[in-house]
Chains A and B, each alone.
Chain A
Amino acid sequence: MKVDPKQVEEVARELYVRALKILPPDIKQGFSRLAAGETDATAKKVLGTMIANIKVAEDTENLLCQDTGIPIYNVTIGSGVQVDGVELQAAIRRGCERATREHPLRSSVVHPITRRNEHTSCGPGVPPIHIDFAGGERLLIEMVPKGSGSENNSWLKMAIPAEGVNAIKAFVVDCVLDAGGKTCPPTIVGVGIGGTSDLCVALAKRAATRPLGTSCPDPEGAALEKSLTEAVNTLGVGPQGLGGDSTSFAVHVEIAATHITMNPVAVNMQCHSARRASASITPAGVEYGF
């Protein structure tokens, strides 16, 4: 299958707007689960307002949250797909710019030193476009608008082997305490374990943006997900940091092998407006999903 960059541009534009307006079904289910189990009166009201907002956004075709985030595109190229990589990147960038101009969306992206906003949601290195490969005749594009409330709460600790897995557990709990209400809880707490420093942070982001209900492919990682999810929800931070049981939808873990002298752990959080959208391009056409 040969992919036309024009089609990629159109998909990249559509994905940004869709992601900002429609919350994925797994997150909606997560809300129902938390609301059913919440015991705190204020927290119940806060969750109720969040759930009401999802419906208002759909009914009025409006954005769920004002924060259009840093736009992130994750691309998986199937082995049966023919595409010019340079053109692909340029097409995604054009689609992102067009969504911003045509909707219009608030461009939340500025130059890091001059703070100048080009009103395109683009700039040097942004949007980040991550490329991966898989089998099959399919081009998959996932779009994640990453809000700053949660992104500003990102941490990396280069722990050492002598501190063991306990350092990882304590770090996650302390990050949730330090984040308080700033990350717009209930959150998905993404934890990266292992790798190099940059890989560890990337793993945490992947974990934070993974659909609810999925688990770490590594059994040790999956076991940590379970115990840490339970632990952070006993702290009582609650939705918006105003107290309650619903601090996080889940703790997600992703792992990579690391050096014999290293024990890195990174935490990246996703806010309750855990937005993402995806498009699958196959010879049959484009299919949008989450």
Chain B
Amino acid sequence: MTHHDFTMPITEAQARSLRVNDTVTLEGTLFGIRDANQIALFDKGRKTRFDMRGHAAIHTAPNVRKVAPSPRHPAGYEPICVGTTTSARMERFTRPMLKELGARLIIGKGGLGKGSLDAFAESGGAYLAIIGGTAALETTWVEAIEDVDLDDLNPESLWKFRVRGFGPLLVAMDSHGASLYDDVDRAARARRDETLAKLGVKPA
């Protein structure tokens, strides 16, 4: 269980050094991805001008206020509440995020599936768990919205955040085939029949 302080972007070796139960705190750039912008990028062939190689992307669509662009709010957006959404809906986009756009870390809540775990192993990446539903706290780690792309999809635009002390986040899936979600799921399902027996239900 090692703690890693990463200033983004990172190398493949850094991504592969992560093991489940390690913790990570991020500095610098963080991209915000979501259902609509990933559908646009990977199903509808739209392009982004953002270079995500070596970067982290979080499953989010923030609450923002439109303001005049300024050094503090270069994209003309003030972050109000930046939180994290359920990752599972975006399972099939992990592979192209890593392979096509070069991202290394996916941040989300609730975990991803086998396709993503394989993609982390193939490309060198990891899934970092943030605590879902704790957006007020998460917002205090966000310094600014630096840039925005595909903004016609607002609030599901492609966001570029500048973050400071973003974490600690828990490495929940790594590039060595380990997933805390799989471990918990297997153990919980193994308790199913015993749990039902206590409720007077015999296994079918």
Cβ contact within 8 Å between A66 and B81: yes
Stretch among B11-19, B83-91, B114-122, B143-151 lining the A interface? B83-91
Cβ of B41 within 8 Å of any chain A Cβ, yes or no, is: no
Cβ of B48 within 8 Å of any chain A Cβ, yes or no, is: no
Cβ contact within 8 Å between A234 and B191: yes
Determine the chain A residues whose CB is within 8 A of the CB of B183 once the complex forms.
Answer: 243
- In the complex, how many angstroms separate the beta carbon of A22 from the nearest chain B beta carbon? 11
Cβ of A57 within 8 Å of any chain B Cβ, yes or no, is: yes
Cβ contact within 8 Å between B137 and A241: no
- In the complex, how many angstroms separate the beta carbon of A138 from the nearest chain B beta carbon? 32
Stretch among A101-109, A123-131, A205-213, A253-261 lining the B interface? A101-109
Query: Once bound together, how far apart are the Cα atoms of A50 and B133, in whole Å?
Result: 7
Determine the chain A residues whose CB is within 8 A of the CB of B63 once the complex forms.
Answer: 63, 66, 68, 104-106
Query: Once bound together, how far apart are the Cα atoms of A227 and B195, in whole Å?
Result: 10
User: Interface extent on B, as a size class?
Assistant: 35 or more
Query: Once bound together, how far apart are the Cα atoms of A175 and B137, in whole Å?
Result: 30
Contact bitstring A166-192, B, C-beta under 8 A = 1, else 0:
100110011001001111100000000
Evaluate whether A231 and B195 lie within 8 angstroms (CB atoms) in the complex, with A104-B63, A238-B184, A242-B129 already known: yes
Of chain B, the residue at the smallest CB distance from A115 is B36
Cβ of B68 within 8 Å of any chain A Cβ, yes or no, is: no
Cβ of A7 within 8 Å of any chain B Cβ, yes or no, is: no
Cβ of A237 within 8 Å of any chain B Cβ, yes or no, is: yes
Query: Once bound together, how far apart are the Cα atoms of A64 and B135, in whole Å?
Result: 6
Determine the chain B residues whose CB is within 8 A of the CB of A64 once the complex forms.
Answer: 133, 135-136
Query: Once bound together, how far apart are the Cα atoms of A50 and B136, in whole Å?
Result: 10
Evaluate whether A106 and B62 lie within 8 angstroms (CB atoms) in the complex, with A49-B131, A169-B201 already known: yes
Evaluate whether A237 and B133 lie within 8 angstroms (CB atoms) in the complex, with A63-B81, A177-B192 already known: no
Cβ of A214 within 8 Å of any chain B Cβ, yes or no, is: no
Determine the chain B residues whose CB is within 8 A of the CB of A66 once the complex forms.
Answer: 60-63, 81-85, 135
Of chain A, the residue at the smallest CB distance from B202 is A166
Evaluate whether A170 and B201 lie within 8 angstroms (CB atoms) in the complex, with A52-B137, A237-B188 already known: yes
Cβ contact within 8 Å between A241 and B131: no
Residues of A within 8 A of B (CB): 42, 46, 49-50, 52-53, 56-57, 60, 62-68, 103-108, 115, 117, 119, 147-149, 152, 166, 169-170, 173-174, 177, 180-184, 227-228, 231-232, 234-238, 240-243, 271-273
A50-B134, A62-B139, A149-B110 given; name 13 further pairs at CB < 8 Å. A63-B83, A64-B136, A65-B132, A66-B62, A106-B155, A117-B156, A147-B133, A149-B86, A180-B110, A240-B129, A240-B132, A243-B184, A271-B132
